[in-house]
């Protein structure tokens, strides 16, 4: 599977920031290394900003390093506009992620969220776990 445009859920991005190894980190690195676009809307980036700055993460990574990570994402990502449409996700807060994927014409959505995974294939956009994304884009022969 070729991925030129992807939406990565907040929880995956936070996991990538907090651990220097593992599937979430490899997802972000794969997107970057393949010059693919990481898609955000204002709503999804604000969600990431507010959650990653929670004090409970201080014991894993300093606030300064988390801010640096946000800055790196900010300059290396593409923004799309969303309207706050209701798209039918069980968790209405996840509709913003689906809408970002739709408006950004994403090739996939990477998430560990069961509500979003259950909507895989929504309007042609597969929802993949980080492990499945890596299998489809990196580990599969000829995937590059």
Terminal alpha carbon distance of the chain: 8
% of the chain residues with pLDDT over 90? 81
- pLDDT digit string, tens, across residues 17-31: 999 899 999 999 999
Q: pTM value?
A: 0.92
Residue 95 CB partners (closer than 8 Å, separation 6+) = 84, 85, 86, 87, 88, 89
Q: How confident is the model at residue 143 (pLDDT cuts 50, 70, 90)?
A: low
């Amino acid at each position: 599977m070729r991925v030129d445009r992807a939406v990565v859920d907040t929880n995956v991005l936070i996991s990538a920031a907090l651990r220097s190894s593992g599937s979430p980190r490899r997802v972000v690195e794969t997107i970057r290394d393949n010059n693919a676009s990481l898609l955000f809307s204002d709503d999804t980036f604000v969600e990431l900003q507010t959650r990653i700055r929670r004090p409970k993460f201080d014991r894993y990574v300093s606030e300064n390093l988390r801010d640096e990570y946000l800055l790196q994402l900010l300059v290396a990502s593409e923004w799309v506009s969303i309207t706050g449409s209701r798209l039918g996700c069980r968790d209405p807060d996840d509709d913003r992620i689906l809408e970002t994927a739709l408006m950004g014409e994403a090739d996939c959505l990477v998430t560990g969220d069961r509500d979003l995974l259950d909507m895989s294939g929504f309007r042609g956009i597969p929802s993949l776990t980080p492990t499945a994304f890596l299998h489809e884009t990196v580990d599969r022969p000829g995937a590059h």
